[in-house]
A and B are shown apart, each in its own frame.
Chain A
Amino acid sequence: MRSLIHRSARFLALMSALAGAIMMLTVSADVLRRTWTGRPIVGASELTVLLLVAVIFLGLGEAERTDTHVRMRLLTSRLPDRVAALLRTVALGMSLLILLWLVYATGVRAYRSYLSGEFLFGLARFPVWPARALIPVGFLGVALEVALRTIDALRCFLGLETVTDGLRGWRISERPDGPEQGGTA
């Protein structure tokens, strides 16, 4: 199951990366065509928005798997292992709840969008539901990764294993002292 979830995250991330590449090519082609012929590519802007949503949400699970999401380890890195694991379990559990709620809320919204035939009106009539449908998929991907981490943290608290955050080879004693991972700034 663990392997399946990780593989799913990697697959979604691959789709996210491909969407990024296609977005780059679409916007470039649109601007080059407009510069040379004075006419934009019909539907390019609307397609770009769909691709943007794909890049953002389909990459969420992989960002969690590779620990890219920004989190503070100031407190937990200074606590005894099992106390830190307990706190981590609570935080991960709360994250899981909000993520599952987001899966449900955005899923229902996407379904309604499909039923009502919601469209973006630009140069082309572009359906909105595919972009909306990608959002719950992305949230589900990250929710499953968070669920794995929650189980790991709980097992660590119960003394069943020492690996706490789902990252192979990362043990509490080896965790970097720094308070963060990832970042864009």
Chain B
Amino acid sequence: MSPDVVVVMVIALFLVFLALEMPVSWALATSGGIGLISLQGISVTQSSLAAIPYSTTAVFSLTVVPMFILMGSFALHGHIAEQLFNVAERTIGRISGGLGIATVVACAGFAAVTGSSLATAATVGRIAVGEMRQHGYQAHFAVGIVAAAGTLGAMIPPSVLLVIYGIITGEQIGALLIAGIIPGIISAGFYIVYIVVRGRHFIEPSKATEEKRPVGGPLPYRALFRAALLFAIVIGGIYSGVFTATESGALGALTAFVLMVVELRRDGFAVIRRRLGDALREAASITSMSFAILVGAGIFTAFLVSARVPTRFTAWALGLDAEPWVVLVMILLIMIPFGMALDPLSILVITMPLAYPVVTSLGFDGVWFGILVIKMIELGLITPPVGVNVYIVAGTVPGVTAEQGFRGVLPFGLVDLATVAVFFTFPALVLWLPGRAGLL
């Protein structure tokens, strides 16, 4: 059988396995394994299966992934997100559209202590959507705000997706994390501008006035301190060059643990012990799931390499009679249909071994490309039919359907595209900060 036929067959098999509800990780491993058998025989495939799980995971720099996940988990159980929303709500919530803006600010703040979009959307959504609904926000608008702002979790460091992009491509993880700061802030700013400009069309005026009522009680400003402290340890450590990304992740996780214990101290030892157990178990489970996809992708990539697909794809793309920026735009646009069918991590591990060599061979910067890719992949989180953020946020509010959520998030998707266009046009917005830190 010719390699081309095998490649087509294996890709088709992968899609069939996905449709049959096989986890993405095992679908990649199974289809990649079948491809390897077809091209290399059983003995070579067995050697690959024996070696890849260890070689793709037993790498010191990968430690940063579980550390970021653990830090986010401790921050979650330490109630940082709820308190950030509380502070934002009561300081900004009184202006028109203020609750929506407060939600974006809370998401950006929580994104600075967690590496996950899903965690950001789910945690802030649990509190914010109900609050916005009470104050006259139409359901689709409220869900749209949280689902879109939740994607900031993957852009504002610490970001697990940026780390994994770095692992796959070999780009410096510290540079990628620092590069995500300004784009994250600009993305949040664009969401806020949209809410200010269009929000009044989706908020019932009679209930909206209730936003202006004075609210008593002390504000949990300590949440700001805790989020700032974690951000300073992780990003400050990397920016100043004092710590590597891995070391910053571990110190961030340790600090988040201490902050969680301090926050929960009044609830008693039993609660702290339970929360600690939950945080550790959840982090371990998510880490296992993420790395299972990396192991599966390792097997799949071994098959693609044995079929010389990356080399041939790069040669084909470089031979196209088109301007380099057109090729880049095409690659970025391909992420949208991928986003409609797959989760962000899977898209990253499937597409980057093919796309990254093309883009860097065309002379583009790998860090800048990484930020554009993550932004495009994050669009998938709010795009039907697999817009995970929308399902998660809609699921937290009784009576709100995913369809309403997708309706509400559509304008934010267009805002995201506009944001990508800005980063595309002005690469300095992405590269200035890591350049200042001497990471480029």
Contact = CB atoms under 8 A, between A and B. Distances in A.
Interface of A: 13-14, 16-21, 23-28, 30-32, 35, 45, 48-49, 52-53, 55-60, 62-64, 66, 68-76, 84, 87-88, 90-92, 94-95, 97-99, 101-102, 105-106, 108-109, 131-132, 135, 138-139, 176-180, 182-185
Contacts of A56: 57, 66, 287-288, 291-292
A105 B388 contact: no
Given A52-B57, A74-B386, A98-B29, A69 B343 contact: no
A115 B341 CA distance: 45
A45 B69 CA distance: 19
Nearest to B381: A185
B284 A69 contact: no
Q: Which 3 A-B pairs have the closest CB atoms?
A: A59-B288, A27-B250, A185-B344
B118 A72 contact: no
Nearest to A112: B50
B378 interface: yes
Contacts of B118: 183-185
Which residue, of A17, A88, A108, has the highest number of chain B Cβ atoms within 10 A? A17
Contact of B21 (A17, A60, A76, A135): A76
A162 B306 CA distance: 43
Interface residues of B, number: 76
A73 B388 contact: no
B386 A60 contact: no
Interface in B212-253: 242-243, 246-247, 249-251, 253
A101 to B, nearest CB: 6
24 contacts: A13-B285, A17-B281, A20-B283, A20-B284, A24-B70, A58-B284, A62-B285, A62-B288, A70-B24, A70-B293, A72-B386, A91-B22, A94-B17, A94-B26, A97-B30, A98-B26, A101-B49, A108-B50, A131-B58, A183-B118, A183-B388, A184-B289, A185-B116, A185-B160
Contact of B395 (A60, A88, A178): A178
Contact of A91 (B20, B251, B291, B402): B20
Interface in B359-415: 377-378, 381, 385-386, 388, 391, 395, 402
Contacts of A60: 288, 292
B254 interface: yes
B19 interface: yes
